[in-house]
């Protein structure tokens, strides 16, 4: 006895033809094209933003912008009033409106908050920043200078120099 093998083949779809050639790859090609256009647009927008924020130089290569960015991450986006960088001495200075100073708090507490705010900001601004050898952070409340923090790369947090002035000076 012979066994008979019956193959089952699906009947052709009614009303549809199989896609071949260009028609088969068209949806994939459109998807790739749309992805490339969106990615290119995002890159272009990012470059425009960096040039506007960095004064014509990309943020990653502008030491003053890098320092200001580190301080902003601690003291807030609108806290930095002024940033200077001297390429000859590789020293940077930042003027910051303190986010944590409160005249109603005790002197000791305000001093601790300002020292921490200035040191953390300096630490972030100097992290991986090879273009700055010394950073001075001046912390203000309105127009009154409260504290000055001086820091160098690889300096320990507690070794960063803090000088108090105005209402926080020693009495």
Q: What is the pLDDT of residues 10-50, one digit of tens each?
A: 665 555 655 565 566 677 777 777 888 888 888 888 887 77
- The mean pLDDT of 61-82, rounded to a whole number, is 84
CB count within 10 Å of CB 40 equals: 10
pTM for this model (two decimals)? 0.63
138 pLDDT above the threshold of 90: yes
In percent, how much of the chain has pLDDT > 90? 39
Rg, Å, the chain Cα set: 30
**Window from 6-15, 41-50, 131-140, 149-158 with minimum mean pLDDT:** 6-15
Q: How far apart are CA 104 and CA 84, in angstroms?
A: 32
């Amino acid at each position: 006895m012979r066994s008979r093998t019956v193959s089952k083949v699906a009947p052709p779809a009614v009303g549809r033809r199989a896609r071949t050639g260009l028609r088969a790859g068209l949806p994939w090609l459109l998807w790739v094209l749309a992805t490339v256009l969106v990615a290119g647009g995002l890159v272009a927008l990012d470059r425009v933003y960096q040039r506007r924020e960095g004064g014509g130089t990309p943020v990653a290569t502008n030491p003053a912008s890098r320092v200001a960015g580190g301080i902003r991450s601690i003291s807030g986006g609108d806290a930095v009033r002024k940033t200077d960088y001297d390429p000859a001495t590789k020293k940077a200075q930042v003027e910051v409106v303190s986010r944590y100073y409160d005249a109603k708090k005790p002197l000791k507490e305000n001093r601790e908050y300002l020292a921490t705010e200035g040191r953390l900001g300096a630490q972030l601004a100097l992290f991986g920043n090879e273009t700055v050898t010394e950073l001075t952070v001046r912390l203000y409340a309105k127009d009154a200078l409260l504290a000055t923090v001086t820091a160098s790369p690889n300096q320990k947090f507690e070794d960063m120099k803090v000088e108090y002035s105005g209402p926080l000076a020693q009495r």
